[in-house]
Amino acid sequence: MKRIEFLRNSFIATGAALAGSTLNATASTSESGLATGLAGKTFNLDYAPHQGMFANHAGKSFLDQIQYMYDQGFRSIEDNGYLGRPVEEQKKIGDLLAKLGMRMGVFVVDGGDNWKTSLTTGKKEFKDKFVETCKLSVEAAKRCNAKWMTVVPGFYERKLPYGNQMANVVDAMRAGAEIFEPHGLIMVLETLSDTPELFLQQTHETYNVCKAVNSPSCKILYDIYHMQKTEGNLIVNMDRCWEEIAYIQIGDNPGRKEPTTGEINYKNLFKHLYNKGYKGVMGMEHGNSKGGKEGELRVIQAYRESDDFLS
């Protein structure tokens, strides 16, 4: 389940996804409560589901899904494709989050250049497009009180030495930070494993960019699934770069499904993050290991099990 697939699914769902009201989740809540025994209880960390994760219980409406997430104890959401939604839909999402006291996690600053050779080249056309999208993102963020936005600098430019590419990326990120900083917004640079063509692939590289930009508005999105694939040594690498990490995402490996389905000891990782005092959002950027209502209940149960690290 690659980033581009998350975005594509989000855009496909736009339109009909917000139809209807937020009145359909009550029966599903009690059903899920029977499975978890903890329906409505908040978690020790702030896990954030995304659209479609609980559609079998809550229905197609994203608003109903958000209500269901709240009823299950989640207090944040993610919406990668939020920037591509019509303004009216953005406002509806923001209004419901405000009503429920929930936080908006990341949405993607997607200028159309994330998945090709772009900002590494230093070409004005790509930087201008990035700056334009950052400005649009500021207005979108206001509608849902968002704080973090995902940025992917793009692919390698094989015609340039690495150092030149790094300088070009830093220059573009400084331009983005200048836009976001006056509004208290943070672009979080994501290090990915989807393809070896991506410029940022290990945490120390993204750490280097953030240090060079030197702005509170340019930080690291540490995706545990991707980093398990590219570098491992998760706790050590997080600790090395901790001062620049502002956002964390979750997915077990192999498979990119919920915790407990792969090789990562999420209960131990969550305890480590809790003990470090992490108060940010934990984006649930993964699929469900099983289909239907059973699979959705298993996702909730997996988070209850992995979040039970204080006993």
Taking the alpha carbons at both ends of the chain, their separation in whole angstroms is 33
Q: Which residue in the list 78, 244, 285, 296 is annotated as catalytic?
A: 285
Higher pLDDT, 243 or 28: 243
pLDDT in tens, 92-141: 999 999 999 999 999 999 988 888 999 999 999 999 999 999 999 999 99
For the chain, what percent of residues have pLDDT higher than 70? 87
Confidence of residue 4 (pLDDT cuts 50, 70, 90): low
Can you give the residue range of the structural domain that contains 96?
3-307
pTM of the model: 0.89
pLDDT, average across residues 143-147: 98
| Cβ partners under 8 Å of residue 63, min gap 6 | 18, 20, 21, 22, 92, 93, 96
pLDDT in tens, 182-220: 999 999 999 999 999 999 999 999 999 999 999 999 999
How many distinct structural domains can be found in the chain? 1
190 is catalytic: yes
157 is catalytic: no
155-249-178 Cα angle (round to 5): 60
Q: Which amino acid is at 119?
A: L
| Cβ partners under 8 Å of residue 200, min gap 6 | 152, 153, 169, 189, 190, 191, 192, 206, 209
Nearest to 121 by CA among 151, 154, 143: 154
pLDDT in tens, 32-85: 444 445 667 999 999 999 999 999 999 999 999 999 999 999 999 999 999 999
We report the CATH number of the domain holding residue 251 as: 3.20.20.150
Q: Which residue in the list 190, 244, 258, 296 is annotated as catalytic?
A: 190
E strand segments, the chain:
46-48, 76-77, 103-104, 107-108, 148-151, 186-190, 218-223, 245-249, 281-283
pLDDT in tens, 171-190: 999 999 999 999 999 999 99
Q: Which amino acid is at 39?
A: A
Mean residue pLDDT of the chain comes to 91
Q: How far apart are CA 137 and CA 157, in angstroms?
A: 26
